[in-house]
A and B are shown apart, each in its own frame.
Chain A
Amino acid sequence: MIEEYLKYRPLLDDTGIMIGLEIHVQLNKLNTKIFCGCGLDYHNDPPNTHTCPVCLGLPGSLPVINRKAVEYSIKLGLALNCSIQEHTQFYRKNYYYPDLPKGFQITQYDFPLASNGYINIEGENGEVRIRINRAHMEEDPGRLVHEGGNIEHSKHTMIDYNRSGVALLEIVTEPDLRSPKEARRFLDKLRSIIEYLDVCNTSLEGATRVDANISLAGGSRSEIKNISSHKGAERALLFEVVRQKNLLRRGGKVVLETRHFNEEMGITVSLRTKEEEHDYRYFPEADLVPIKVADWAPGIAKTLPELPDAKRERFVSQYGISDDHAKSLTSEKRLAEFYEEVAAHVNPKMAAVWTADVLKGELNYRDIGITAFKSEDMVKLLKLVADDKITDSSGNQIIRTVLDEGGSPDSIVESEGLLKAGGDIIGTAVDEAINENPQAVTDYQNGKQEAVNFLIGQVMKKTRGRSDAKAVREMIIEKFKGIM
C-alpha cells in the first residue's frame, strides 16, 4: 500500500513524512439540517433551541434527506475533480458517545457520493497534485459543553443539540502531503474552493474541522483529532514530526494511535491505541432510500462558478499580470472580486500591485479581511496616484489611515494635505532654496553632486513633503544650467 503511495509521490527526504487529511466541512449555507427542517442560524441562540424529534433522535423519528445538501455536496465533489457515484447510499456508523443521540451516526461507507478527485497546491518542490480519496455526506453530532470551557475542571458535561444533524461533507485525501507546510497549503486551497462555491461560511465556529494522519519513515501512523484551524493543523503536525522523530531516534516505537491536539499548549496527547478502536459495524440505513445522483451531476456541473485555478489563469491572460500576483489575488473569492472591480477602472497591473502587495500586506498585518476596504476607495486612490496628484507614499499612508481610523481617500487627502504641491509652488520653493543657499550652488559648481540632495531636502521642507523628489531634482539641475 505504502509503495503505491510512494510511487505516486516520493518522500521528500530521509525523515519520510507522509500526511493525509480528513476535513469535515459543515454545509452551513443551507437553510436546514441534513435530515430535518431545523434551521442552522443557531450560533447566537441558547442551547437546544433548534431541535426536533428527528435531530434529537427521539424514538420513532425518521430521517429525510435534504436534497439541497446532496446538491451542495455534489457541487463540492465536482470542484474537487471527483467522480460522482451512480447511486449513493447512507449507512449507520454505530458507536456510543454522549453527543450522539441515536447511538449511531448516519454517514456513508460504500458508495460515497464523490471519489477519486484531486486539487493542485504549491508543494515543497513546485506545483503538486494532491489526490482526494473520497468525499461523503454525514450528520454532525451534538456539541459537548463544559463549565468554564474546560473538561478537566467541569463537574458536568452538558449537551447542545443545536448542531446535531447539520450536514457535513467529509473529505478524505490520499497520504500525498509531505510536510506540515504542504498540509496547511492544502487546507488553504480547499477553503478557497469552498468559499468560491458558497456552500460554507468558513468563518463560523466549527465550520471546518480537520483530522490529520501522519507517519515518518520507520514508524506507524498517528491520527490527530480536534484540529480547528489551518494554523493549528500545521502546528499539530510540526509537533508530531518532532515527537515522532525524537521517539525514533531514541530507538522507540511509534504506535498506531489516535492523538488529541491541545490547541492551547500546542501539543498532542494520546487518546487511544488502535486496539481500543471501535468496530463501527457499518450497515445500510434502511430508513433512507438510495439516491440516483448520477443524473444530478451534469446539471450541477453547469452551475459551478469559475474556480481559483481557472480564475488565476484568466487573470494572467486577461490582465497581463504576473502569475504570482494572480495566485495571490485568486486565493480568496472576495479578494478576486475586489481586484476585478478595481481593474475595471484603472490600469490592471497597477491594480494588481496595489491590491496584492500593498493592501493585502496591510490586511495581513492587521489580521482582517478584504471587506475592511472598499474597492471604490481603491479606485479613487489609484486614480490619484495615476494622475500624479499624490505620491506613492501618500497612497500607502491613505490605506493605513482608512484601515486604522476609517474615512475615504478624498477626505484623508484633504485633512492630511497630501495633494502634490503644484508646479509654481515648487518652482518658488526651488528658487528660494537656491537663493538662500549660495554655498550649495558653489559646491555644485565645484563638482559636488551631494549639493543637489541638500537642496532637494530644503525644497521638501518648504513644501512639507508634497513634492515629488525626482521632479524637484530635475528642476534644480535645470536652474543650475541657467546659472552656469
Chain B
Amino acid sequence: MITISQTLKAIDESSYEEVVSQCIERIKNNKLNTFITIAEESALEIAKNINSSKNHLQPLAGVPVAIKDNISTKGIQTTCASNILTGYVPPYDAHVIERLKEAGAIIVGKANMDEFAMGTSTETSHYGPALNPWNTDHVSGGSSGGSAATVAAGEVSVALGSDTGGSVRCPASFCGVVGLKPTYGIISRYGLISYANSLEQIGPIATNVKDMTLLFNVITGYDSRDSTSVQIEKDYTESLVNDVNGLIIGVPDEYFGEGTEPAVEKAVWDGVHTLEGLGASWKKVKMPHTRYALAAYYIIAMSEASSNLARFDGMRYGLRLTKDHDWHTTYSEIRAKGFGEEVKRRVLLGTYALSAGYMDKYYLKALKVRTLVKQDFDLALKDTDVLIAPTMPAPAFKLGEKISDPLTLYLADVNTVPINLAGVPSISLPCGFDNGLPIGLQIIGRHFDEETVLRVAYTFEQNTDFHTITPEVR
C-alpha cells in the first residue's frame, strides 16, 4: 500500500509523468480487475503539463486517484459498470472531480463497481468482479470494490467511492483500508449517477485516516448545484488529534447480531478496549429499530432506483442496438439487454413497492421506519460521542458464494444500511484479521460531526498497526 506522502516523495525523486505512468503500469499488470476504464492518455497529458499550470502548488499535485465509475468525468467514459452506459462519455465533471482537479489530483481511471452500485461484492459488474488483494478467491466487497481494492493493492494512494447502504465501508472493511461515509449533504452529489438519491454520498477511501481526511477536505464544501448540499467549510485535518480522553463510546448490541463471526466480534471489542485504554469510556446503547432497518433500506433504495434508472433508454447516450423499432419496443429491448439481473430485480421490486395499492404497505411504511431508525441514532448519540460496531458481520466471502442468493447477500449489509437511513457519518477502518482477511470496525457519529469520528479513528490508528500490514498481491 502507498500513502499520499510516499507518492509526493516519489514525484520529487522522479517526475509527475513517471509516477503516473508507473501507477498505470501497476493497474495494467495486476489481475484484480480493479478498473473499467484506464484514462492513460489524459492522465499522462495532465502530468506532463502540471508544472505549467498552477496546480503543482496544490495539496494533491500529481497524486493519481481512482474514481468510482458512477461519478461523472468529462471526457472519460462513465459506465456505472453497466452495459446500458457503454460508450457514455459525460460532457461535464461532477463537483468532486472539479474539486480534485483544482487540487492537482490526476484521474488515472474509473474503478470497477457493482452495476449501478447495486451489490456487496462487485459481482454484479458487467465487467466482472474486482478481486480482493488479500485473497483473490474472495470478493473485494461492494459496491465500491474497485476503489477499495486498487488502494489496498497499492496501485493508487487514494480513491473515491460512493456509499448508499455501505458501498464505501463494506469494501474498505473487506480490503483492509479506510473509508468514510460522510453525513448526507456534506459532499455535493452533482455528477454522481443516482442509485438511491436520498441515501447516497460520495466517500473517500485511503490506506490511512490522514490521507482519507486530506481527500475529504478537498471534496467537501457547498455546491449550489445540489439542493441538499449544506454550507459548512471546515479544515478536517485539525481533527487529526491523537486523543480520545474523556470521550464516551456507545456500543449497540443490535450490531453484534446473529451471523456475526466470533473473530469479528472479538476484533471490534478489542478495538473498543484499545480506545478505553487511551482514556475513552464505553457503554452499551439500545437501538431497537435496527432489526427493521434492512427491509426499510431495500424498499426505499429500490423504489428510488426504479425512478432514477428510468432515464436509461438508449435514446440520447449509452447502449444502442443496431435496429430501431417504435419507441416502446426500442426502450424495452435496450433496457432488457443493457441492465443486468440484479438491476432488473431492484427496478422491478421498486416499481412494485411504489405502485398504487402497495405504496402504503411498503414505501410509506419504510419511510416511517426510517424516521424511527434515525431516532435510534439521535437517542444513542445523545449521551455518547460516537458509536462503534462491526462494519460487516464477517470478512470477505468467496466469489460466487452468495451471488445466486440475493437475500443472503442483502443480509450482509445489516450493519451498514441503518447509517444511510439516518444520514449520519461513519468511518470503517481495519481492526484485525481472520484467516488472512481484514476485519473492519466502524465509528459512527452525529450529523455533521465528522470531526469527532475522525479524531477517534485517527487515535485508534496511531495506537494500532493494522493499517501498516500490506497484502501480498497474488
Residue numbers of A with Cβ under 8 A of B are 53, 56-65, 92, 94, 96, 98, 101-104, 157, 159, 279, 281, 283, 286-289
Contact = CB atoms under 8 A, between A and B. Distances in A.
B90 interface: yes
A61 B317 CA distance: 14
Nearest to B330: A98
B90 A59 contact: yes
Interface in B183-224: 189-194, 197-198, 224
Contacts of B198: 286
B311 A102 contact: yes
- 3 nearest interchain CB pairs? A103-B310, A286-B198, A281-B354
A94 to B, nearest CB: 5
Contact of A58 (B91, B192, B224): B91
Given A59-B88, A60-B94, A65-B227, A286 B72 contact: no
Contacts of B303: 283
B90 A286 contact: no
B315 interface: yes
A104 B194 CA distance: 14
B304 interface: yes
Contact of A279 (B88, B307, B355): B355
B226 interface: yes
A283 B310 contact: no
A340 to B, nearest CB: 43
A96 B310 contact: yes
Given A59-B78, A62-B190, 13 more contacts: A53-B91, A58-B72, A60-B72, A60-B94, A60-B193, A94-B310, A103-B311, A104-B310, A279-B356, A281-B351, A283-B359, A286-B228, A289-B227
A64 B224 contact: yes
Contacts, number: 93
Chain B contact residues (Cβ within 8 angstroms of A): what range? 35 or more
Contacts of A65: 227
Given A60-B194, A157-B327, A279-B356, A286 B304 contact: yes
Contact of A59 (B72, B315, B359): B72
Contacts of A283: 303, 307, 354, 359, 363
B90 A60 contact: yes
Given A96-B310, A286-B197, A58 B90 contact: yes
A281 B355 contact: yes
Contacts of A102: 310-311
B155 interface: no
B109 to A, nearest CB: 18
10 contacts: A53-B90, A58-B91, A59-B90, A59-B194, A59-B312, A94-B310, A279-B355, A283-B354, A286-B197, A287-B228
Contacts of B91: 53, 58
Nearest to A291: B227
Interface in B301-323: 303-304, 306-307, 309-313, 315-317
Contact of B331 (A96, A286, A288): A96
Nearest to B363: A283
